[in-house]
Amino acid sequence: MSPREEVDVPSGRPAAIPTPAPGDPRLARLSLNQWTTRHLGVAEAVDGCARSGIPAIGLWRQQVAEHGLAEAAKLVRDAGLHVSSLCRGGFLTAAGAAALDDNRRAIDEAATLGADCLVLVVGGLPEGSRDLAGARARVAEAVGELVPYALAAGVRLALEPLHPMYCADRAVLSTLGQAVDLASRWPSEAVGVVVDTFHVWWDPEVIAQIARAGERIASFQVCDFLVPLPADVLLGRGMMGDGVIGFRPLREAVEAAGYTGFTEVEIFNADVWAADPGEVIATLVRRYVTEVL
Amino acid sequence: MSPREEVDVPSGRPAAIPTPAPGDPRLARLSLNQWTTRHLGVAEAVDGCARSGIPAIGLWRQQVAEHGLAEAAKLVRDAGLHVSSLCRGGFLTAAGAAALDDNRRAIDEAATLGADCLVLVVGGLPEGSRDLAGARARVAEAVGELVPYALAAGVRLALEPLHPMYCADRAVLSTLGQAVDLASRWPSEAVGVVVDTFHVWWDPEVIAQIARAGERIASFQVCDFLVPLPADVLLGRGMMGDGVIGFRPLREAVEAAGYTGFTEVEIFNADVWAADPGEVIATLVRRYVTEVL
């Protein structure tokens, strides 16, 4: 197929550039977050990365469990893929011992996979509660309980601030500054932060807070912010270039802060999920080059 | 009707307390934002306040225009109502001269009505733009152009930070801290800020920024944050007590900062708008007492 015939998904817009081929140096820091191609198992996603020249993958626990942990670890290793993150632990605000136990299992899985970090979505307000300060204190306490285990396993926890619209039901960690404040209680190798463009792009402090985060940046995730949001606001994440985010200043700030890891494309979007996964991967490779680099 | 028989709207929950009667000192600082009873004209809304013992009203420009500006001013004055705000000016990011002219007219209207402030919703990204920093700079410039006119008219502009989910399409002013930073360029009597619980409740810095805002607080608006959000996220505002916000710490912080104005109940919600306006007013009076005071 000539580049002229390639079409981006899900927008249907003509491709702006030919899809970079495997080995193209521009792809050296690109990672596919597995949830972008949600319906692919680990083997298919790994194959998609290998065939497209994407050198890293962000894995999700349920797909890893379906494939088998040891087999998944071997598969990505044999394919020469780097594991840029494991998604995800957290949900600590309603946590009893069971939630902490599940996070310890997630830490073990991240260690087995050799993941750069375990992403933590910290959880929202406990059911029926309006005690936001209390929920935030509980998160700090629970992270503190996990740190020794993570340090012993050699796994870095990555605190992910989520967009404030998810404060009540997903994550009481709402800004990068708040995440850095919290992470700073522990050694940098134990607790870092995630910079996800969707969650932080609006923040008047974001550039300053990325600089402040510095070596705490454990993961950089990109996707666009769609306007209007869909009815399910969890699925408002779009292909880079389909929304309102200017990516370059954010990527440059993350690099200037010293981050040398991968840039993970993580898109939750019903139309992306309905599209052909091969076309999704080709589109994100092109858009990464034209919108993010 | 005995208190026992009263039912809150739109929740259908039994009333927790009898509706306070007109003259009840607990209502001394309550204000009805007209958009809460969106389908009422100025005369009906003023009548609703008078009959319920609500001493202030936040008016909207279109309803005022429909009633007639001079007549509306006389009506609220004759009813002994205070005008806690006029909603709204702004939308400055795509502004040419027309937008500034419209804001000057809004300033004139606020002066005629004797409103405590003119609420400004500053506008989102210009169509097709991703230059968030540029849009924010444009807001600062446009407010600066309006300040001399507002000072001459004796009208206080009130910058309203909106929830970050509206950053792209409604207001690039996203946090109270950012609003205070901006307002501080001009005299406090010219430019203040709005503290609206829906927009700021999630902010880890909100209590500190309310304290910092101090005499800049020109308006305090309350409504709840509903979870899950409805398909139209603009309508995610709920009756106090129907969502996730703990109001008391916010009200106490606003008072501790020196604010002595009214507390406006401003609810955008399809179910509230579909309910009987008299029941809406009775419910908000009760909920104000049980949830906010």
Model confidence pLDDT, tens digit, residues B278-292 = 999 999 999 999 999
Q: Is residue A179 part of a domain?
A: yes
**Model pLDDT, residue A94:** 79
Is some CB atom of chain B closer than 8 A to the CB atom of A225?
Answer: yes
**Model pLDDT, residue A1:** 47
Q: Is residue A128 part of a domain?
A: yes
Summarised one tens digit per residue, pLDDT across range A88-105 is 999 999 767 788 999 999
Q: Do B227 and A174 touch (CB under 8 A)?
A: no
Of A202, A203, A246, the CB nearest to B130: A246
Write the CATH number for B187: 3.20.20.150
Q: Are strands B224-225 and B263-265 parallel, antiparallel or unpaired?
A: unpaired
Our CA-based measurement puts residue B163 at a distance from the nearest CA of chain A, in whole angstroms, of 8
Q: Do B246 and A164 touch (CB under 8 A)?
A: no
- Contact (CB, 8 A) for B112 and B73: yes
Sign of the torsion angle spanned by Cα atoms A158, A161, A167, A170:
negative
**Model pLDDT, residue B1:** 47
Sequence-distant (6+) residues with CB within 8 A of A192 are A117, A156, A157, A158, A159, A183, A215, A216, A217, A218, A219
* Dist. CA A178–CA B279, nearest whole Å: 41
Is some CB atom of chain B closer than 8 A to the CB atom of A46?
Answer: no
Q: Do A132 and B202 touch (CB under 8 A)?
A: yes
A205 contacts on B by Cβ (under 8 Å): 175
Number of helices (H), then strands (E), belonging to chain B: the values are: 11, 10
Q: Is residue B15 part of a domain?
A: no
B250 contacts on A by Cβ (under 8 Å): none
Our CA-based measurement puts residue B220 at a distance from the nearest CA of chain A, in whole angstroms, of 20
Our CA-based measurement puts residue A232 at a distance from the nearest CA of chain B, in whole angstroms, of 7
Q: Do A165 and B168 touch (CB under 8 A)?
A: no
Structure tokens at A264: 């993970």
Query: What number is the average pLDDT over the span A157-170?
Result: 98
Degrees, nearest 5: CA angle B250-A168-A191:
100
How many structural domains are present in chain B?
A: 1
Would you give the DSSP letter of residue A123? Answer: B
What ipTM does this complex have?
0.95
**Model pLDDT, residue A66:** 97
B5 pLDDT exceeds 90? no
Number of helices (H), then strands (E), belonging to chain A: the values are: 11, 10
Of A136, A169, A204, the CB nearest to B174: A204
**Model pLDDT, residue B46:** 98
* Dist. CA B40–CA B277, nearest whole Å: 8
A167 contacts on B by Cβ (under 8 Å): 201-202
Residues facing residue B195 across a β-bridge: B220
**Model pLDDT, residue A159:** 98
Structure tokens at B286: 């009760």
Neighbour-count burial of B103, counting CB atoms closer than 10 A to its CB (0-12 exposed, 13-18 middle, 19+ buried): buried
Q: Is residue B161 part of a domain?
A: yes
For B286, the enclosing helix (H) or strand (E) is: helix B277-287
Is some CB atom of chain B closer than 8 A to the CB atom of A103?
Answer: no
User: Across chain B, which distance is largest between two alpha carbons, in Å?
Assistant: 57
The neighbour count for residue B38, using CB atoms within 10 Å, is 18
Domain limits for position B268: 27-292
The neighbour count for residue B131, using CB atoms within 10 Å, is 14
First to last CA, chain B: 25
3-state DSSP percent of chain A in helix, strand and coil, to 5: 45, 15, 35
Residues facing residue B86 across a β-bridge: B59, B118
**Model pLDDT, residue A96:** 74
Summarised one tens digit per residue, pLDDT across range B46-91 is 999 999 999 999 999 999 999 999 999 999 999 999 999 999 999 9
Q: Is residue A258 part of a domain?
A: yes
B4 pLDDT exceeds 60? no
Summarised one tens digit per residue, pLDDT across range B199-232 is 999 999 999 999 999 999 999 999 999 999 999 9
Neighbour-count burial of A286, counting CB atoms closer than 10 A to its CB (0-12 exposed, 13-18 middle, 19+ buried): buried
Summarised one tens digit per residue, pLDDT across range A4-53 is 589 999 999 999 999 999 999 999 999 999 999 999 999 999 999 999 99
Interaxial angle between packed helices A176-183 and A132-153, expressed in degrees from 0 to 180 and rounded to the nearest 10: 50
A3 pLDDT exceeds 80? no
Q: Do B132 and A229 touch (CB under 8 A)?
A: no
B94 pLDDT exceeds 60? yes
